Amino acid sequence: MSKKLVITADDFGISKEANDAILKSFQEGSLTATCLMATGQAFEHAIQEIWPQCSEIGFGVHLNIIEGKTLQSPNKKSLLYDFDGQYNNGFIQLLANSSNKKFIDEVETDFRIQIEKVLDKAKVDHLNSHVHTHSIPKIFEITCKLAKEYGIKYIRTQNEIPYFIPNIQKHLDLRFPVNLIKLGLLKAFSTINLQTLKKYSLATNEYFVGVSYTSYMDEDAIKYGIAKVKEPNSITEVILHPTTDQSKKDNYQEFLSITNPELKKYLESSDFELTNYKKLS
């Protein structure tokens, strides 16, 4: 049985340039899925102008409690955002606050509003989050609770097999060791979160590619990452953040990579079946 490969573009709705890149990456490249930010500044552009042109793409909600502004009415007593409704917790703060029931209740309300906003426009087949914040175990539990309630089967986990690209330039930037620290944390969370998924009878990807080489996700990062997966009939998810905005060099490179015809040929000749959670559901 062939291994399944889902290639997802996160941040649908964050900007018009990201939206345009996602459409082209689906139509011309190897992209199979995306996830919509209900809080994104280009949400309406995404859902009104881009979505009708790629309605067969796998479609999720990209939950966000770390960047931008909440959809809730601002509450000056909030632990999740400031007086103006701007989210004001980094990842470590979210982790620390996740033991606070009041905070978790706020997160649940925020996630619920985001999910319902997207569901009002389209059918959803998976959930994930901006900067992997849903991976924090107590926040992951809330994500599972809502997925079960809204009939969404798949939630992303980050079980990435460590791998190395034989290109020294990719390892000289200080972001690379930071990525490895992040990978260790996310893999530990994923081990815990698999038990929560089982509790709610939900599904996930067995493997993941996109942490070790965050900001370096080119053709080699995809090829070497998926090459580590040997398990038949497993699901591997690769994540990208493409844009047509050339001033964002890392993200623009991801756009060039996922639309590269040579990558498409490579994937089509591999032992992976390109798919998405819509088809898998």
**What CATH number corresponds to the domain at position 276?**
3.20.20.370
The pLDDT tens digits along the chain (281 residues) read 589 999 999 999 999 999 999 999 999 999 999 999 999 999 999 999 999 999 999 999 999 999 999 999 888 789 999 999 999 999 999 999 999 999 999 999 999 999 999 999 999 999 999 999 999 999 999 999 999 999 999 999 999 999 999 988 888 888 899 999 999 999 999 999 999 999 999 999 999 999 999 998 999 999 999 999 999 999 999 999 999 999 999 999 999 999 999 999 999 999 999 999 999 98
Predicted pLDDT at 94: 98
Measure the CA–CA gap between 54 and 41, rounded to whole angstroms: 20
The alpha carbon torsion through 156, 107, 18, 246 (nearest 10 deg) reads -100
- Domain holding 205, by residue range, is 3-280
Give the three-state DSSP class for 86.
Answer: strand
Report the number of distinct structural domains present in the chain: 1
Dihedral sign, Cα of residue 144, residue 146, residue 151, residue 156: negative
Measure the CA–CA gap between 12 and 62, rounded to whole angstroms: 8
Which secondary-structure segment (H or E) carries 191? Answer: helix 175-200
Predicted pLDDT at 262: 97
Predicted pLDDT at 1: 58
Predicted pLDDT at 204: 98
Predicted pLDDT at 174: 87
